[in-house]
């Protein structure tokens, strides 16, 4: 029983430490690394863990709010593919070439992931030529998180500072 209680407390403390502003620069560095290596088909959680000397659990906790680091990589690759499709409208570039250029191993995997993310096929996206739908970016999510934390701290501070001091005896 004590072991379970201890484990619960420890995991909550680790979670709090993981989400502190001190760890946000590491997350930012990882996102920058992902952006710089997006076209590398070997980019994945394992290569990030090796590059940054991180444990698997630390990496996965850092990207848990985004659905995991693999999802972040896949979504960034799909966004890149979408932009390439739109930029190359009318130019003969095969979907297979775009898939490989964006780090996907095969066209079928790319097409399924693309359709799941954008609810249209790569071919349809190319024909429509509409700009990439705006989804919350990592920076926007981070900004939102920091704003929430600042509001929470301000609220806690306001609550503690508005408490009236004990009343002094009234002199006649």
Distance in angstroms (rounded) separating the CA atoms of residues 145 and 125: 32
Is the predicted pLDDT of residue 14 greater than 60, yes or no? Answer: no
Domains of the chain, start order: 12-132 (1.10.10.60)
Dihedral pair phi/psi, residue 99, rounded to 5°? -60, -50
Q: How crowded is residue 138: how many other Cβ atoms within 10 Å of its Cβ?
A: 19
Summary count for the chain: helices (H), strands (E)? 9, 0
Q: Write the CB contacts of 41 (distance below 8 Å, at least 6 apart in sequence).
A: 100, 103, 104, 105
Interval 130-166: pLDDT, tens: 777 665 555 545 544 554 555 556 555 555 554 545 5
Interval 94-115: pLDDT, tens: 899 999 999 999 899 999 999 9
Give CB contacts under 8 A, 24+ apart, made by 93-97: 95/122, 95/123
């Amino acid at each position: 029983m004590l072991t379970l209680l201890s484990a619960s407390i420890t995991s909550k403390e680790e979670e709090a430490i993981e989400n502190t502003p001190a760890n946000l620069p590491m997350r930012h560095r990882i996102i920058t690394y992902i952006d710089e290596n997006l076209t590398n088909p070997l980019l994945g959680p394992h290569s990030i863990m090796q590059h940054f000397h991180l444990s698997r659990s630390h990496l996965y906790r850092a990207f848990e709010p985004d659905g995991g680091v693999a999802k972040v990589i896949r979504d960034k690759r799909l966004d890149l593919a979408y932009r390439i499709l739109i930029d190359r409208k009318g130019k003969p570039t095969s979907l297979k070439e775009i898939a490989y250029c964006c780090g996907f191993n095969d066209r079928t995997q790319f097409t399924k992931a693309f359709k799941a993310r954008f609810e249209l096929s790569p071919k349809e996206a190319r024909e429509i030529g509409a700009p990439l739908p705006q989804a919350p970016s990592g920076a926007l999510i981070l900004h939102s998180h920091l704003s929430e934390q600042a509001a929470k701290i301000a609220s806690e501070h306001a609550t503690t500072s508005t408490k009236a001091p004990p009343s002094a005896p009234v002199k006649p």
